[in-house]
């Protein structure tokens, strides 16, 4: 039979009918939904139930009807630790609500009064006999039964005994249920916090400490020892992850020069993504950067500062890579006998050979596994994977599954700017997080639609990392928006997703692009780029304090650490974007609610003003949160100002001073 006694369909979050697990991190609240209905007019109850990896029930939450007439119910479940969890939805006949509804109507019009009282007696006698009921519940039910059965009392008085606030509270806590039907158990993979929450900072180790000799025009590369000196500043800005582009030897053949030119001079370091030289390949460190001992020291220093090191896993090779001669079958040979280099028309990467899994899938797969295991042994637990969408999905499913079986703490980020189906496929087969389309969503309509999409439509498995820029991506919005654009994008990224990232130079408002391209002039991919971060801060020309404040806000407010709790709010101006995030946080027997409301002027050139209309239900407000005049207090975590807000609120945002409000609702004001 497809249907149980109470039909339960459309359960979410479910990925391909449970073939792949939905994803969460410890403490993340997951929206569970289901369509549940039954025949006739009797009342229905719906419950979401969470089971831990030991198959022990840990949470049971009543599900709320989202919209009358839809039969769609929703609740939030919160796993507390890593592992293979499951959840289910229960539908059941609500005996008490069925009786109460009928009794209140019929007694109110004098119809079947004694029959309704008698049915109430049967109901409460049955409830009192349920095993495991507290003595206080049993006594309450027995007293209700006696009063309902006492024909000497007025009908209204008798009915009140069965519908009192005390009775309603007890049956809400432990309902009177029959015909209980449970859905299938659906998988929920709970991974470590870094899989779904974090602030990333990218920099090139070779640029940190690089020195130019003005007399000879020669460069001395930075290395892991000099790059370690940058870590304290990164940690000071509140970032969790420092991400390094490839650190391996770089090929000489077809090496790219400054600004992606086809001819490199003897001092040009080349692109780190052109991996491999006579010194070695993916299992080797570029001699300019140091030794494995130096790398281990870098990782250790990062750990001392509370940072994790993410390493680039770029499965490609320069023409000089040892693989090219030892394993030519791992590449694609063209009709003229040459090995095909990488292309993304009109872009050409003559210095890079893509790999091909079709000729020797087992041998190539085992080699990649060996490389990943090597870097894990040196303290790397996060891999940013370059262009994973150019490799077959079966390979990633195998690799990530194999690695996580032995190292469940290892996280893989997909750098996949490609079609939605592939991006979703990569998430299904195991990638814990992914780059996203956020970088190119700049207008109000684009931002609102994308925030809703990633938080409501794809959030079961797809975790977007909102990078504001990358070495390859400098959007027109940043090129021409001035410093305001940098603040605006940082606020949107830091509050719109639990994962966000910054590439070095963002805090210096670097915005000049190579002519005709959406990438930086004097791109760091092809040359050294030492920067005077400290000097910029001293001159007041750095965004670092602003980034620091955003990361502080993220750490202090649990609602910003979840993905699925975002609600887009309405505004009257076509450049004002507003959204909120609410979360109930439980510690032991206590709980508190954390709500953030973000309002951003996405026009970096002009002041915008208008009205923000709030869906108060989405803010989960209690009576104690309201002032006597029906308003509630909000505190701006960026400016320090406070205001009384309500259903509709006037805002005015000058992008050159305060382009955004990040408002925290002050709870329990009474």
Residues tagged active-site: 386, 415
**Do the beta carbons of residue 247 and residue 271 sit within 8 Å?**
no
* Coil/strand/helix, residue 580: strand
- Asked if residue 316 belongs to a known ligand binding site, the reply is yes
- Asked if residue 525 belongs to a known ligand binding site, the reply is yes
- Asked if residue 151 belongs to a known ligand binding site, the reply is no
Please give the Cα distance from 162 to 120 (Å, whole number).
7
State the burial class of residue 587 (Cβ atoms within 10 Å of its Cβ: 0-12, 13-18, 19+): exposed
**Do the beta carbons of residue 249 and residue 284 sit within 8 Å?**
yes
Return the closest-CA partner of residue 89 out of 163, 145, 33: 33
Q: How far is CA 362 from CA 160, 277, 314, in A?
A: 74, 24, 18
Please give the Cα distance from 634 to 625 (Å, whole number).
11
- Asked if residue 178 belongs to a known ligand binding site, the reply is no
Query: Secondary structure of 30-66 in the HEC alphabet?
Result: EEEEEEECCCCCCCEEEEEEEECCCCCEEEEEECEEC
- Asked if residue 526 belongs to a known ligand binding site, the reply is yes
* Coil/strand/helix, residue 378: coil
Q: Residue 656 CB: number of other CB atoms within 10 A? A: 13
Backbone φ and ψ for 46, nearest 5 degrees, come out as: -135, 135
**Do the beta carbons of residue 555 and residue 594 sit within 8 Å?**
no
Residue-level length of the chain:
670
- Asked if residue 581 belongs to a known ligand binding site, the reply is no
Q: Residue 620 CB: number of other CB atoms within 10 A? A: 17
Residues annotated in a binding site: 256, 316, 351, 387, 525-526
Residue ranges of the binding site for alpha-maltose 1-phosphate? 256, 316, 351, 387, 525-526
């Amino acid at each position: 039979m497809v249907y149980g006694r109470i039909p339960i369909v459309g359960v979410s979050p479910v990925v391909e009918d449970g073939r792949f697990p939905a994803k969460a991190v410890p403490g993340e609240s997951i929206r569970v939904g289901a369509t549940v209905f039954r025949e006739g007019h009797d009342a229905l109850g719906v419950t979401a139930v969470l089971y831990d990896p030991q198959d022990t029930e840990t949470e049971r939450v009543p599900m709320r009807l989202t919209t009358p007439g839809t039969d769609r119910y929703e609740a939030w479940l919160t796993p507390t630790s890593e592992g293979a969890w499951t959840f289910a939805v229960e539908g059941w006949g609500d005996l008490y609500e069925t009786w109460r509804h009928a009794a209140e109507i019929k007694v109110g019009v004098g119809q079947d009064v004694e029959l309704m009282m008698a049915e109430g007696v049967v109901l409460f006698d049955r409830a009192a006999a349920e095993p495991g009921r507290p003595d206080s519940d049993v006594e309450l039910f027995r007293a209700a039964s006696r009063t309902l059965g006492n024909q000497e009392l007025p009908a209204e008085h008798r009915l009140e005994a069965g519908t009192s606030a005390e009775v309603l509270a007890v049956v809400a806590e432990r309902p009177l249920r029959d015909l209980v039907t449970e859905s299938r158990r659906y998988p929920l993979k709970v991974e470590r916090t870094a899989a779904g929450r974090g602030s990333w900072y990218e920099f090139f180790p070779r640029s940190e400490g690089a020195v130019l000799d003005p007399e000879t025009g020669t460069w001395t590369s930075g290395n892991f020892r000099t790059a370690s000196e940058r870590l304290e500043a990164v940690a000071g800005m509140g970032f969790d992850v420092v991400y390094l582009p490839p650190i391996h030897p770089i090929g000489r053949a077809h090496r790219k020069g400054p600004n992606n030119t086809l001819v490199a001079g003897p001092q040009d370091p080349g692109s780190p993504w052109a991996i491999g030289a006579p010194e070695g390949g993916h299992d080797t460190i570029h001699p300019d950067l140091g030794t494995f001992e130096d790398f281990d020291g870098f990782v250790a220093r990062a750990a001392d500062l509370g940072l994790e090191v993410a390493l680039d896993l770029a499965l490609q090779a320069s023409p000089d890579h040892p693989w090219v001669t030892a394993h030519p079958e791992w590449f694609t040979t063209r009709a003229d006998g040459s090995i095909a280099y990488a292309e993304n028309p009109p872009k050409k990467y003559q210095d890079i050979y893509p790999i091909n899994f079709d000729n020797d899938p087992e041998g190539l797969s085992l080699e990649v596994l060996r490389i990943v295991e090597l870097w894990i042994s040196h303290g790397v637990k996060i891999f940013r994977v370059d262009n994973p969408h150019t490799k077959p999905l079966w390979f990633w499913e195998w690799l990530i599954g194999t690695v996580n079986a032995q190292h469940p703490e290892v996280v893989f980020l997909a750098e996949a700017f490609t079609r939605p189906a592939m991006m979703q496929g990569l998430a299904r087969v195991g990638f814990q997080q992914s780059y996203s389309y956020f970088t190119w969503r700049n207008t109000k309509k684009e931002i609102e639609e994308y925030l809703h999409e990633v938080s409501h439509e794809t959030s079961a498995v797809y975790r977007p990392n909102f990078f504001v820029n990358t070495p390859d991506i400098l959007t027109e919005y940043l090129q021409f928006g001035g410093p305001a654009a940098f603040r605006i994008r940082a606020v949107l990224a830091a509050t719109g997703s639990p994962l966000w990232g910054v590439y070095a130079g963002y805090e210096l408002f670097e915005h000049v692009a190579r002519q005709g391209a959406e990438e930086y002039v004097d791109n760091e991919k092809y040359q050294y780029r030492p920067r005077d971060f400290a000097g910029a801060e001293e001159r007041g020309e750095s965004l670092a304090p602003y980034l620091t404040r955003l990361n502080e806000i993220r750490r202090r407010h649990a609602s910003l650490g979840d993905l699925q709790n975002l609600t887009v709010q309405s505004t009257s101006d076509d450049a004002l974007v507003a959204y909120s995030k609410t979360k109930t946080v439980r510690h032991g027997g206590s709980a508190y609610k954390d709500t953030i409301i973000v309002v951003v002027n996405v026009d970096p050139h002009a002041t915008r003003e208008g009205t923000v209309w709030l869906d108060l239900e989405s803010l989960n407000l209690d009576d104690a949160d309201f002032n006597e005049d029906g308003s509630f207090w909000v505190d701006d975590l960026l400016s320090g100002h406070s205001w009384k807000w309500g259903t509709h609120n006037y805002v005015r945002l000058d992008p050159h001073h305060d382009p955004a409000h990040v408002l925290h609702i002050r709870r329990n004001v009474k």
